[in-house]
Amino acid sequence: MGIAQGMVYLQEKNIYGVTLSARDIWLSWDYVAKISLSTLTGFCNQESVENGVDEDPERVRWTAPEELLNPSGHVLDPHHGIDVWSFGVLIWEIFSCAQTPYFQWRDDDNLEENLAYFLHSGGRLDVPSDFTPEAMYAFKIH
């Protein structure tokens, strides 16, 4: 819940295009989730967003399909929900015990192109093997 609230807060501050991953979430001593500043470093202003300051090749694993398939390279309308996609991948990370999303591709295997094709063709992350309705319920009530 705290992560979703943090995403809403960022949206209220007009901060979009955050590729949120488990490594960007810190827990306080009382288990309150906080979004780390490392997520936001490349997104200080519109120019840095348009120039692709966040060049971490790993970040593509949390990028929405419409952003991967965007030929212009410009940031899409923030109301498209591109941040929602990375939130979904983050939830997958939590339930998969921190596995790397789309682990079948290494970074040097033209990751962005392969992932764009995979997602455009309807491919999605598999349900984590340890995922059960009981696990989801336990996650939801905490």
All structural domains of the chain: 2-141 (1.10.510.10)
Query: Count of CB atoms within 10 A of residue 10's CB?
Result: 19
Q: What's the mean pLDDT when you consider all of the chain?
A: 75
Long-range pairs, 138-141, Cβ under 8 A, ≥24: 139/94, 139/95
Residue 24's alpha-carbon distances to 58, 76, 95, 116, 121, in angstroms, are 13, 22, 16, 23, 29
What is the C-alpha to C-alpha distance for residues 35 and 70, in angstroms, rounded to an integer? 26
For 4-35, the pLDDT digits (tens) are 888 888 878 877 666 788 888 888 999 888 88
Q: What is the enclosing helix (H) or strand (E) of 86? A: helix 82-95
pTM value is 0.75
Q: What is the pLDDT of residues 29-64, one digit of tens each?
A: 998 888 886 655 544 444 444 544 445 677 889 888
